[in-house]
Amino acid sequence: MQFHSFLEFVPKIQELRLPGLSEQLTMAPAIRKQLLEKSIINPKKAAVICLFYEGIHGETCFYLIRRSSYPGVHSNQVGFPGGQIDPSDQTPWEAAKRELWEELGISPQQVTQIRKITPLYIPPSHFWVNCFLAYSTAQTELNLDQNEVKEVISVSLAELINIKKSFTGQLESNGVETPIYLLSDNTVWGATAMMLAEIKSIISQTLS
């Protein structure tokens, strides 16, 4: 989809009823479904952004990042830009924009919110994550925080819409079969794949 066409669909995206957790769970292993049925007590809060922008050929793209290696459960994983909500953040949206600025160097003034999708709990790190859809029409040179971001992955929206899930037994502990997406030659799984499943459904409904 060309970016100018995507912008025309933004009002429809904003009005759609969210597919919700049921759609997210299509990209979750069975063990994750069981964990989400348990009570969630005092989770940490986080906010991430799926930022749409115009690619070099005018197509609609969005950013994923590969996190740097660190002593934590999400080390070296592919996900959306974003992170923990700080006490100084007035809202989850403000936190998401701050993290985008710190990690990729994209100014908050260049980012327009479309909507928030269904919040998701991540059991391994005990985070409750707010994911925002947003877009930027600015031509921005990225400035990565090397301490947090190993690389930026540009994914075309068309690739996400047309992709089919596959499975692997090597990502979760105990050899659990895990649904994955292969996007721009990168394996995407876990909470990010779950959020992408809902985003994929939202865009597909918009185009129908």
Query: Who has greater pLDDT, 74 or 160?
Result: 160
Q: The dihedral of CA 173, 180, 67, 197: what is its sign? A: negative
DSSP 3-state of 49: strand
Distance CA 127, CA 190 (A): 13
The whole-number average pLDDT for the span 106-134 is 95
CB 55 within 8 A of CB 154: yes
Per-residue model confidence (pLDDT) at position 138: 94
Conformational region of residue 173, where left means phi above 0, alpha means psi within -120 to 50, and beta covers everything else: beta
Per-residue model confidence (pLDDT) at position 167: 78
The whole-number average pLDDT for the span 26-53 is 87
For residues 15-24, b (16+ Cβ closer than 10 Å) or e, as one string?
Answer: eeeebebebb
Distance CA 164, CA 159 (A): 10
Which residues have C-beta within 8 Å of that of residue 59, sequence separation ≥ 6? Answer: 1, 2, 3, 156, 157, 158
Per-residue model confidence (pLDDT) at position 98: 97
Task: pLDDT band for 61, please (50, 70, 90 cuts).
Answer: very high
Query: Who has greater pLDDT, 30 or 58?
Result: 58
Give the domain ranges of the chain: 3-207
CATH 3.50.50.60 fits 3-207, yes or no: no
